[in-house]
Structure formats: structure tokens, C-alpha cells
């Protein structure tokens, strides 16, 4: 077991957002976290990352409790976070954004350059924009850059929030292909996305949230094939 989230309760001031959420992630698997808007999916990712701290419950990553750790400690332990808002550094170039994602201690040495070259071999769109300010990129290119920058930190687990939002179907296909390659590298993923077809077909397991709780757990295939579950929990 790589990650075990057990009975976490997370609040925003007095608003009880997560009401006893429990999920597990094994090494090398993609886990989909699904649900209607406002049910707590993004808050679950933020709780794992330490951006908001649960008041109750346990978050164990690689056999160590991280529920009270600072986000930078959690990142250094091997968790990468791709927020819904992307949060690139618009004034920095594509290469400088990638360098910002490097793990502490790698810097600009050969290993860092090799990591960037590896990204550029796979994504020519980023390679040709090497010296371009990231704020000038298209939405799809910015999403690729955010994923690539997170990958530069050598995570063992990536939390990816709505990567296809606002993108054309063709660009979304490219994003999901990249996520598949992330899994091929042995990296586990918790994936939140409204594209049910792509997300469930990629995921080994899926959780569906309702009002801050886990209401359903099954395989990705079961979730995409069960229309009753989709109608009941996702209004599909």
C-alpha cells in the first residue's frame, strides 16, 4: 500500500467539507476520484497534500503519517500535486518552469538537463517553446507544462485535479495519454476529472463522492459500464 487515507474530516472554518473520507492507493495504479461539483474531490487532494489539514483522521504515505505535515515536506517525501488552476509561473520561460519543478539538490546538473530533455523528446510542443514565457502558451500547453513540471520532482504519487477542463477533445486526448505514460513510469495517480469515459477506462479503481463521503467504490471498468451507478451518483 502506497497511500492510505482513513476517516479524514476536513473543514473550511465551520463548514464540514469531508465527513470521514477513506481511500487507498496501491503502487503503480491510477485511482479515479469522481463525483458531482462541490462534493469534496479537490478538498480531498488538498488534504492529502497538506494545503488544508484534516481535523480528524489519518493520512499515511509510505508507512509514515503525513496528515499534519507541511506541503513542502509532503512534496519532498514523493507526492506531486497538479492543481486545477495549473499555477504556472507566467513570467518564466518553459524551461525555467521545468527547472522550478526539480527536486532539491538536482539543480542544473546533468540529471536536471536529462530530465528536461526527456520531457522535450516526448512533447515537441514544449521543446519548441523552450524560451517562451509560459504565460504565452495555450491552455493545453500550459496543462502539459504543469504535468511535466510536477514530473520533474520525481514523485511516487501524483494528485491530478481536472487536467482536461476547458480543453478541446484532441488536446484532452494528449493530456490523458501523458497521464498513461506517468503510470507506465511506475508512478501512482489519483485522478479527478469530469471526463468519465477517459478517467474510468484508465483507472484500475474508482471512488465516487457524495456530500463529503465516499458513496461507492469499484473498478474503473465496473464504473463506466454500470449506468445505474452513473445515474445515481453522477447524474450522467
pLDDT at 122 (0 to 100) = 85
pLDDT at 113 (0 to 100) = 86
pLDDT at 103 (0 to 100) = 75
C-alpha dihedral (56, 32, 101, 151), degrees to nearest 10: 140
DSSP bridge pairs for 15? 12
Spatial CB neighbours of 138, under 8 Å, sequence gap ≥ 6: none
90-110 residue pLDDT tens: 999 999 999 999 876 555 557
What are the pLDDT tens digits along the chain (236 aa)?
999 999 999 999 999 999 999 999 999 999 999 999 999 999 999 999 999 999 999 999 999 999 999 999 999 999 999 999 888 999 999 999 999 998 765 555 577 888 899 999 988 889 999 999 999 999 999 999 999 999 999 999 999 999 999 999 999 999 999 999 999 999 999 999 999 999 999 999 999 999 999 999 999 999 999 999 988 888 75
pLDDT at 95 (0 to 100) = 96
Query: What is the model's pTM?
Result: 0.94
CA pair distance 207, 196, nearest whole angstrom: 12
What residue ranges define each of the domains in the chain, with the CATH number in brackets?
3-234 (3.40.50.300)
Element (H, E) at 34: strand 30-34
pLDDT at 6 (0 to 100) = 98
Task: Name the 3-class secondary structure at 69.
Answer: coil
Percent of all residues in the chain with a pLDDT value above 70, rounded to a whole number: 97
pLDDT at 109 (0 to 100) = 59
Question: Quick one: cell of 130?
Answer: 523552450
Task: Name the 3-class secondary structure at 233.
Answer: helix
CA pair distance 208, 100, nearest whole angstrom: 34
Alpha-helical runs (H) found in the chain: 41-49, 71-77, 94-100, 110-122, 124-127, 139-151, 169-184, 196-202, 220-225, 227-229
pLDDT at 217 (0 to 100) = 96
**Do residues 182 and 154 touch, judged by C-beta distance below 8 A?**
no
Amino acid at each position: 500500500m502506497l497511500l492510505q487515507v482513513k476517516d479524514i474530516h476536513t473543514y473550511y472554518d465551520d463548514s464540514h467539507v469531508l465527513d470521514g473520507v477513506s481511500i487507498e492507493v496501491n503502487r503503480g495504479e491510477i485511482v479515479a476520484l469522481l463525483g458531482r461539483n462541490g462534493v469534496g474531490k479537490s478538498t480531498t487532494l488538498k488534504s492529502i497534500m497538506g494545503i488544508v489539514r484534516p481535523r480528524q483522521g489519518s493520512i499515511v504515505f509510505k508507512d509514515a503519517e503525513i496528515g499534519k505535515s507541511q506541503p513542502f515536506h509532503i512534496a519532498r517525501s514523493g507526492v506531486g500535486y497538479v492543481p486545477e488552476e495549473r499555477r504556472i509561473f507566467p513570467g518564466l520561460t518553459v524551461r525555467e518552469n521545468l527547472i522550478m519543478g526539480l527536486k532539491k539538490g538536482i539543480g542544473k546538473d546533468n540529471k536536471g538537463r536529462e530530465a528536461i530533455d526527456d520531457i522535450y523528446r516526448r512533447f515537441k510542443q514544449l521543446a519548441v517553446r523552450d524560451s517562451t514565457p509560459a504565460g504565452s502558451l495555450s491552455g493545453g500547453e500550459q496543462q502539459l507544462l504543469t504535468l511535466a513540471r510536477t514530473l520533474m520532482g520525481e514523485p511516487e504519487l501524483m494528485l491530478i485535479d481536472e487536467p482536461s477542463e476547458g480543453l478541446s477533445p484532441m488536446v484532452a486526448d494528449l493530456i490523458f495519454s501523458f497521464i498513461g505514460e506517468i503510470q507506465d513510469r511506475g508512478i501512482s495517480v489519483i485522478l479527478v476529472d469530469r471526463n468519465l469515459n477517459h478517467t474510468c477506462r484508465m483507472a484500475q479503481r474508482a471512488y465516487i463522492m457524495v456530500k463529503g463521503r465516499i458513496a461507492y467504490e469499484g473498478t474503473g471498468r465496473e464504473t463506466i459500464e454500470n449506468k445505474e451507478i452513473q445515474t445515481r451518483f453522477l447524474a450522467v
